[in-house]
Amino acid sequence: MAQENKENELAAEDNVRQQEENTEGGKKSGKEKKEQKKDKEKIEKLEMELEEARASLAKEKDDYVRLMAEFDNFRRRTAQEKLELVNVASEDTIKGLLPVLDDCERALDVLSKSSDSAAAKEGTELIYNKLTGYLKTRGLAAIDARDKVFDTDLHEAVAQFPVNEDDKKGKVFDVVQTGYTLNGKVIRFAKVVVGI
């Protein structure tokens, strides 16, 4: 019996020890829970900061891309405006030379019909050829109108002439003034007589 009492006492002491450990464990789990809660809050806060940083980075990147696109558009627009300015200036200059070209053509026509000196004819031809050669290098081209179908995009009718042949109706019968294009753009319409 004494031994049973001793065993009962030892068992009771073990139970008390286990209860004390459980209560200490309960205390530890409460502390652990608080620490876990703090850690969880820190993680949530850091995740929010990370999302804000990502959003800010995405906004900055978008702003940068837009700014680069805007600058590229500005650069292209400026280059196009410079090119157009040069083209307009050259177009105006060449338009101013067209009456001189017409006068040279008239002079050659008159000199070919007259019996004046061959030197005058040769000199005028030389000037005309140099002028037309230079203007061709700048993109000037004469509009070939004679015997072509009348086209309002290239020709300006100044008169109509009755023709007997059906295949000549609606076609250019005669050219009164030569028309010109500059780099594919009409700068002076050909003044023509149209067969009807």
In a domain, 80, yes or no: no
**What is the structure's pLDDT at 168?**
81
Number of domains in the chain: 1
Continuous segment of H or E residues that includes residue 49: helix 2-113
Residue 159, in any domain of the structure: yes
Instruction: List 155's β-bridge partners, or say none.
Output: 190
Residues 6 or more apart from 15 whose CB is under 8 A from it?
none
Residue 29 within any structural domain of the chain = no
| pLDDT band at 90; cut points 50, 70, 90 | confident
**188/26: higher pLDDT:** 188
Which residue segment(s) compose the domain that 177 sits in?
141-196
DSSP per position, 97-113: HHHHHHHHHHHHHHHHH
If you average pLDDT over every residue of the chain, what do you get? 85
Q: Which residues, 6+ apart, have CB-to-CB distance to 149 below 8 Å?
A: 170, 171, 172
Instruction: Report yes or no on 196 lying in a domain.
Output: yes
Residue 104 lies in a domain: no
pLDDT band for 59, please (50, 70, 90 cuts): very high
Q: Please report, for the domain that includes residue 196, its CATH number.
A: 2.30.22.10
Confidence of residue 32 (pLDDT cuts 50, 70, 90): confident
Q: Is residue 13 part of a domain?
A: no
pLDDT tens string 91-138: 888 899 999 999 999 888 888 888 777 888 888 899 999 999 999 998
pLDDT of residue 6: 61
Residue 175 lies inside a defined structural domain of this protein = yes
Do residues 91 and 182 make contact, with C-beta atoms less than 8 angstroms apart? yes
- Domain contains 187: yes
CA distance 71 to 82: 16
